Amino acid sequence: MDPATQTHLPALRQSLLERLRELQAELSVREPQPLDSTDVGDLTDTATQREFETLHQAEEQRDADELGAVRAALERMNAGRYGDCADCGEPIPLQRLLVQPAAERCTACQTAHEQAHAVSSAG
């Protein structure tokens, strides 16, 4: 871990814990709003409802994924592995961690990871 990151570790931990609470609250409160079954809707109403449901599912999945990343970052922190890139092992720059405290990879490795993932999911 970079010495600058070590100095900012309490603030980074606090940031992760705050985000953890926010995500847990959002995921526990969010419920889809179905159309009233007594409403006589047309195809546009049905299509709109499906779009809302799809959006809700995407938001919920995004939050669940971020919650997992935050928990993993806290686990790495507790294990003394926080701040080092999971792929190359080099310290993740403090500026990246300040913006994205749950970052698991340095920018270069994250870019390579995303490009590899995009190729594998496209094929």
Range of the domain at 21: 3-122
CA angle 68, 69, 71 (to 5 degrees): 65
Q: Which residues contact 24 (CB under 8 A, 6 or more apart)?
A: 67
Domain containing 110 — which CATH number? 1.20.120.910
Number of CB atoms found within 10 A of residue 122's CB: 6
Class of residue 36 by CB neighbours under 10 A (exposed 0-12, middle 13-18, buried 19+) = exposed
Q: Which residue has the higher pLDDT, 44 or 109?
A: 109
pLDDT tens for 30-62 read 655 554 555 556 778 888 888 888 898 999 999
User: Would the pTM of this model clear 0.85, i.e. be above it?
Assistant: no
Q: What total number of domains does the chain contain?
A: 1
Q: Which pair of structure tokens corresponds to residue 95?
A: 């500026």
